[in-house]
Amino acid sequence: MTQPTSYGGRPRTPAPGAAAPERRIARLRGHARGLFWSALVLIGVSGATAYFYDNLPAPFENWMLLTAAGAVVLLLVVLPYVAWLSRSWTITTRRVIERSGFFGSSTREISHVRGYAIQMRRGILQRLWGAGTLTLSNGVEPPLRLKNVPHAVLVHETLVDQVEVNQILAHRDSQSQGSGAVDY
């Protein structure tokens, strides 16, 4: 049996029974538009701090202004950014991996070979930004939600392709291993 040729940079199909290397296709985070208000707060606090520094009424001092500005930036800018940064999804050629948590990390995986249903939900603002929420459910485990994924349509198509390719390869490997000729 000959190996199919590869066109357009697509990886070659592994030989039947050979283990295919797992490759990362994409690493995603939620859409960054969720940090819009944090950016506005940072700009506003910077401008207000610069304006009021050395220009405060009598009972207040500059260190009070800087402390208040630091607390606002910490609560309304840094914490939302860390929360956004602490959740990511990785799509590989074998599975989808969700990692969440900053101090205590948790990981969930769903395999392409087992197959799963993909549901895409896009609100009006999500459509405007090209984002969407994808729900992957295989019927056994709780559904895996990829919330506010950028380029949701492209991610959806990629996941559908990966499920199809993995199921074809699994079927081919099972046929090649179980179809040995029996001599009598």
Q: What is the pLDDT of residues 125-136, one digit of tens each?
A: 999 999 999 999
- Average pLDDT over all residues of the chain: 88
Report the chain's terminal Cα–Cα distance, integer Å. Answer: 26
Give dist(CA 151, CA 158) in Å, integer. Answer: 11
Q: Is the pLDDT of residue 40 over 90?
A: yes
pLDDT digits (tens, 9 = 90+) for 74-88: 999 999 999 999 999
Residue of 176, 180, 126, 178 whose CA lies nearest to 152: 126
Provide the percentage of residues in the chain whose pLDDT is more than 90.
Answer: 67
Cα 150 to Cα 40, 107, 131, 156: the distances in Å are: 21, 21, 4, 11
Residue 8: predicted pLDDT: 55
CA dihedral defined by 143, 153, 86, 109, rounded to 10 degrees? Answer: 40
